[in-house]
Each structure stands twice: as C-alpha cells, then as structure tokens.
Amino acid sequence: MPTGDYANHRFSKLNQITKDNVKDLQVKWTFSTGVLRGHEGGPLVIGDVMYVHTPFPNIVYALDLNNDGKILWKYEPRQDPNVIAIMCCDTVNRGVAYGDGKIILNQADTTVVALDAKTGEVVWSTKNGDMTDGGKGESGTAAPMVVKDKVVIGVSGAEYGVRGWTAAYNLKDGSLAWKAYSTGPDAETLIDPEKTTHLGKPVGPDSGLNTWEGEQWKTGGGTTWGWFSYDPKTNLVFYGTGNPSTWNPVQRPGDNRWSMTLMARDADTGMAKWLYQMTPHDEWDYDGVNENILVDAMQINGQPRDVLVHFDRNGFAYTLDRTTGELLVAKKYDPKVNWATEVVMDPSSDQYGRPQVVAQYSTQQNGEDVNTTGVCPAALGTKDQQPAAYSPKTGLFYVPTNHVCMDYEPYRVSYTAGQPYVGATVSMYPAPGSHGGMGNFIAWDAAKGEIVWSVPEQFSVWSGALATEGDVVFYGTLEGYIKAVDLDGKELYKFKTPSGIIGNINTFEHGGKQYIAVLSGVGGWAGIGLAGGLLSPENAAAWHTAVDQGREQGDEAQVVGTAGLGAVGGYAALADYTTLGGQLTVFGLPD
C-alpha cells in the first residue's frame, strides 16, 4: 500500500542496506514516465511487478522486475483536459493501491478505476465526484487505501468551494458503501450528535451546520486529499480534512466545522467515533490533511497509550489517544511558528484543545484588504502532505518540514461553480534568522513533543521519508538529491537525480536483494512555478486573471511573486538548481 502499512509507519524491516554500506549505493536502472509535472507518491511493488503512476494524465505502468523494468502493460485514461485548470497546486497524484488482484487508481477527474493487476484491463470504474470535466472544481489527487473489502478515497478542490467528503467503495464491484461529508447535517456527515465526541464531549446536533453562517457549509471546503490510516483493533479509519472555503475568514464567521479536523470513522459504516478540530475558523489555509501515524503502547507520562501522531500544516504536532480522541500532546515542531502561542491542554478550560491565536497574525482581526505580515508558517504549512516516517527501533519520527513564512491579504470573493474561490493574496519567504534555508529534516519525540535533531536544507523537504532496520533514514530534496542519514542525522550518502524530488522514498526486496526507489519530477505546490510555467510574467498574469476575480496585483514582480498561491516567488530560486522531469530511479548495493 502507498503508506507502507495501515499504521503509516513508512518503516522497512529490510536490513541489507545499512549505515555502514549505504555509501556504496549505485543506480541499478531508471525509467522515464514520459510526463513532466510534479511526481508525488511512489512506486508500488507487488511480487515481481512494480506499478508506477504519473501526474495527469495518470498513466499507470506495470514494470517487470525480472527484466530491468520492461513494460508489462500501460494504462492511460482519457480525461477531460479542463481538469488540469482546476487543480490548484499542480496535477499531482499520490499513488495507486492494491487489493484483491486489482490496482486501484484515483484519477484527476475523480474517476476511480480498478485495473486487473496482471493485464491492466479495467475491472470496474466509478465516479467519485459529481462531474468529471472540472465543472464543480472537484479533482482527485490522493492515494486510495484498501481496508478489508472496501476502497477508501477522498476528494480535492477546496480552493474551488468543493464541499469535501470521504467515500468507501466496495472493492468487488466499485459500488458505493458509504459517503461522509466534512460539513453539513448529521445525516450527511455521518455524525451521531450524542455518541460522536470532540475532546471527550458529545458534539451535539448538526455541528457541521451551526458553526457556519447560512448555507456557507455547502461550499465549505474541508476536502480530503491526504493520507488514510487504519487500526484493525478498533476498526477505525483515520484522516484529516482541509481548509474551509474561502481563504478570506471574514466571509465565513464561526468555527467552520468540520474543516481542519482529524476524523476517526468506523471502516464498515463510516460513522464518526471522534473528531478533533485543530484549527477552528482557519485564517491561514492550514489544511489538516497530513498523515496520521499509529503507534501502540507509547509511554506518555508513565502510561502506555495507543496513539495517533499528526504533524499538522499549522506547525503543531499532535499526539492523541486514537481510541478516544483524547489530546495528549500538542507542541510546535518548528520554533518559528508564531500565529498561535500554544494549544490549551487543560480539560477544564473553555479553550481546551484550541490554539491561542496571536492578534498580530490574525487575518480575521486585521480584516479584509489588510496585508498581515510575518505569519509563520506560510500557507503550505510546517509540513505539507509529504509523509513522515516512524521507527519502532528508535521510537522517533523523521519529519520532512518547511521553514517558510508569509504575508497574507484576504479579500472578498463570490462563489461560482468550477471557478477559483480563494480570496487571498499570499507571498512566501524563508523564516527569519534561518540564513535563507527553507526547510529542515527533523527527528521528533512525540511522547514529549520535542525536536531531537534537525538538519537544515536550502529548500523545503517535500519528499516522503523512509526509515529502515539498517539504521538508515532516507529523504529527497527539491533540488533532486536523494539523501541517506544515520540515526543522529549525519549524512551518509547523496545522489542527484534528474529532477526535484517531491515523491516518497520506497524500498523493496527482489531476488534476495534490497533496493531503494524514488520518483523524481519537480512540482507540487512548492514547485508550481516550474511545473506550471508561472515564472514567466505572462503566465503569472494569466494565473491571476483566472484566480483573482478582477483584483489588481501590483507590478510585474508582485504578479510573479504571488502567483501559485504565493509559492512562485517563495521558491523562485529553485529554477537555478533543477528543471522538469519524470523519472524513476532504482538504487542497490554493488553486486
């Protein structure tokens, strides 16, 4: 599965590649995907076959590991090209899943397809969204997860006012088993007002309605484009929901539940057991979709707890009891986080579980058409969807992070189906005092809420991490390096691949030998300037024309700098280090 296991550990028990011999890694073979946008996710290995996916048009290749990656079959769906325009942050896809002899693909146009793993023939196909031509702004970027006899899938598009949901389809035939919206009435959010809890208390009737003004919940965002995890002991599926729509908080009073929320749902029925809203009434686009990592018997205050660990975009790392949703730890995992002072941990306080917002950095309090400056982190968060790894050997989490701050100016927008519904101008830059570095790769102690060590990087670390039994931790950089570090963060190996790495590092065994594999192909939100051609003033101006509903954006430098929701200016220097590509690189030890 794309997450490595149901617990999202991204830890491998393979141990041929060790801290002592990793320096000897060499490229064994490569494969060009033929697509030039951001390559997120990673290859999937089932037996002697590797399955490789691409960004739009979402090609899937089956490669023969017994024959240096010979193409066994290729599936290339026909999709409406209009979908490209409504994918806010590049045409990415985070990978395919496997179950019951089928490869499951979540296409950009929201079609979910099951392919025969041996032949590539379509077994079944179903529409997850309402429209596959981008007409409602719905898209598919997330990797599915197969849980028992179901395929769990989310939806993207909060920047277009999509009302988010998670759905489960029957693995056998693709029929819908359940669908749970993030916002709206209890019958549609699959929330029991008495039995579903938030920090231990019943949520009460229609909590997904009465925290919104009027019918704003219908375009309320809360999309579900991140990772899923599953606990067989409790039969709960865990995931997070994204930002509320619009990015202008003044236009949507209230807590805007259940955007920005961790959700625990019954895998069979979809009913919510517990919820935790991390960023009520989000004012900064701090989507809560990042992965949830499940750890058994973590010692917290001398007690073993089965926990869920979540590194949120908002800069806080959360440790919760995954059975009850009790909040155990909430600490900043980048010292520069400044929009809130803390998350209140006193259960008797009326602020329990809420971040304490600093007025200076509140875009709500500063108001529309006011540029709130110096907010840390930037909208893309202290970590975006690039997944962390957990090592049961060390008990530590290895986390790719962004070290970026922003200026954020909200403005009034109106909703039109299929059109951008953003309402903020954002510019991004390295966190102050960081000597220009935009990222760190850190080790985190989730029981204490402390950084153990931190390795600075020139750009944000936008790849997923991998920890192994061989005492090596791998990650990739936006310039294109795959790096290996030891358990103290000391660099052991690096190799520059043809394009920036925003994919996840994978390892697999074949023919008795351990290999490392990674997809290169710069893009994603951080690389959208390169991937979308937005470094050119003409293209940047066209982007603003499409997104800004007629708002003036200043001179040419400002137009380029604030394009791509602020990432183009923030990561402009990336063009000096890498360029577009789409390649799989497989590494191994010398024969």
Amino acid in position 284: W
Cα dihedral 439, 444, 449, 450 in deg (nearest 10) = -80
Q: Given its phi and psi angles, is residue 432 left (phi above 0), alpha (psi -120 to 50 degrees) or beta?
A: beta
CA distance 541 to 152: 38
Which of the residues 186, 285, 312, 548 is marked catalytic?
A: 285
Q: Is 285 a catalytic residue?
A: yes
Which residues make beta-bridge pairs with 519? Answer: 584
State the binding site for pyrroloquinoline quinone: 40, 94, 141, 157-158, 223
- Please give the sequence-ordered ranges of beta strands (E in DSSP) within 228-291, or none if there are none: 229-231, 236-240, 261-266, 272-277
Place of tokens 């090609």: 59
CA distance 229 to 233: 12
State the binding site for Ca(2+): 159, 243, 285
Which residues make beta-bridge pairs with 504? Answer: 464
C-beta separation of 290 from 313 below 8 A: yes
* DSSP at 547: H
Prior bond to 258 cis, omega within 30?
yes
C-beta separation of 485 from 494 below 8 A: no
Question: End-to-end CA distance of the chain, in Å?
Answer: 28
- Token pair in block for residue 257: 């539940």
CA distance 525 to 519: 17
* CA neighbor of 99 nearest in space, from 160, 42, 150, 38: 150
* CA neighbor of 506 nearest in space, from 7, 114, 62, 17: 17
Residues 6+ apart with CB under 8 A from 576: none
CA distance 262 to 260: 7
Active site residues: 285
